[in-house]
């Protein structure tokens, strides 16, 4: 089976400090993978490189066999690699509904279909809103959303591109029990029903063990262990 996402020899330095060095990893289609590491181990840098927010100094990233090392994050999203942010940066003046319209507008299939797709778009937004439990908040401006709702919106935004791979950066930290449970169910359902692979970054080992089949352990910029659950 070919890997969905594979990375080889990823190296990145900021100034004189080498943050990650020679990282290789691969994720199979539909595979739930965890990434664990202490603070300062280079997790965020690695996630930024895999999602296209940063470009590595050396090494290659491939998605479905195609090299995407220097493809920016917006192009990766359109290919089906979506990521969420640990700290959401919402559009203050846009409503939840509008924020999702922006994400759907980026889908090339949706855009070329023109006016006829308006009904589909509305249907897709409603689907995302009900899956993430944001339907009652659909007209609320993002600036007024609670932390839990912002995290839900991050999920909805990520699911809007019907992703093949989700990169989730500390999505379950600092959430209420209800928010955490609903989002976990959402993630597991997507993995089970749509075969969405995900890379979950966390420093909560029990959570990783319960969700992932494989856990990569990052220390000082290198993958030091790989644990199968």
Partner 1 sequence: MLPSFRGGWPAAGIGLLLLFPLSSPDAFFLDVFTTGFLLAAFAASWDVVGGIAGQVTLGHALPFGAAAYACALLTSLAGWPLPLAVAAAILLAAAVGAGVGTLSAPLSGPFVALLTLALGEIAHEAAAGNTFFSGPGGYAWGGEGGIPVALPWQDAPPFASYYVALCFLCLASFAMLRFSRSGAGLILRAVAGSPITAQASGVPIARFKRLAFTVGSAFAGATGAGFAIHVGRATATDLSLELSFQAATFAAVGGRGTIVGPVVAALVLHVLFQGLSLPPAARVLLYALTLMVTLRFFPGGVVGTVREAAWRVRWKNGTGSFRRRGRGRPGEGGS
Provide the minimum distance between the beta carbon of 136 and partner 1 in the complex, in angstroms, as a whole number.
5
Provide the minimum distance between the beta carbon of 133 and partner 1 in the complex, in angstroms, as a whole number.
9
> Residue 11: which H helix or E strand, with range?
strand 5-14
Provide the minimum distance between the beta carbon of 125 and partner 1 in the complex, in angstroms, as a whole number.
13
* C-beta closer to partner 1: residue 180 or 220: 180
Rama region for 114: left / alpha / beta (φ>0; ψ in -120 to 50; rest): left
Residues that bind partner 1 (CB under 8 A): 51, 53, 72-75, 77-78, 82-83, 85, 88-94, 98-99, 101-103, 105-107, 136-137, 140-147, 149-150, 157, 160-161
Provide the minimum distance between the beta carbon of 224 and partner 1 in the complex, in angstroms, as a whole number.
29
Sign of CA dihedral 115, 117, 119, 125: negative
Provide the minimum distance between the beta carbon of 113 and partner 1 in the complex, in angstroms, as a whole number.
12
Contact assessment for residue 196 and residue 30, using Cβ atoms and an 8 Å cutoff:
yes
* C-beta closer to partner 1: residue 41 or 51: 51
Task: List all residues 6 or more positions away from 16 whose beta carbon is below 8 Å from its beta carbon.
Answer: none
* C-beta closer to partner 1: residue 1 or 93: 93
* C-beta closer to partner 1: residue 30 or 135: 135
Q: Which of 220, 195, 166, 228 is nearest to 22 (CA)?
A: 220
Q: Using CA atoms, how far apart are residues 183 and 188, in angstroms rounded to an integer? A: 9
Contact assessment for residue 104 and residue 110, using Cβ atoms and an 8 Å cutoff:
yes
* C-beta closer to partner 1: residue 58 or 144: 144
């Amino acid at each position: 089976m070919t890997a969905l996402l594979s990375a080889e020899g990823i190296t990145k330095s900021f100034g004189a400090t080498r943050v990650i060095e020679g990282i290789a990893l691969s994720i199979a289609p539909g595979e739930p993978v965890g990434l664990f590491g202490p603070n300062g181990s280079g997790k965020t840098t690695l996630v930024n490189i895999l999602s296209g927010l940063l470009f590595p100094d050396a090494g290659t990233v491939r998605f479905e066999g195609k090299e995407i090392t220097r493809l920016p994050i917006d192009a990766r999203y359109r290919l089906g690699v979506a990521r969420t942010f640990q700290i959401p940066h919402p559009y203050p003046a846009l409503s939840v509904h509008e924020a999702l319209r922006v994400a759907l507008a980026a889908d090339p299939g949706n855009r070329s279909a023109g006016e006829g797709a308006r009904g589909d778009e509305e249907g897709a937004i409603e689907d995302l809103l009900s899956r993430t439990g944001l339907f009652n908040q659909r007209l609320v401006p993002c600036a007024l959303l609670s932390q839990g709702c912002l995290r839900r919106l991050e999920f909805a935004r990520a699911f809007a591109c019907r992703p093949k791979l989700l990169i989730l950066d500390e999505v379950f930290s600092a959430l209420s029990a209800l928010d955490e449970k609903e989002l976990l169910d959402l993630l597991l359902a997507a993995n089970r029903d749509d075969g969405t692979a995900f890379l979950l970054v966390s420093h909560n080992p029990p959570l990783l063990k319960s969700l992932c089949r494989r856990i990569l352990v990052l220390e000082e910029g290198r993958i030091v262990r790989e644990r199968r659950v």
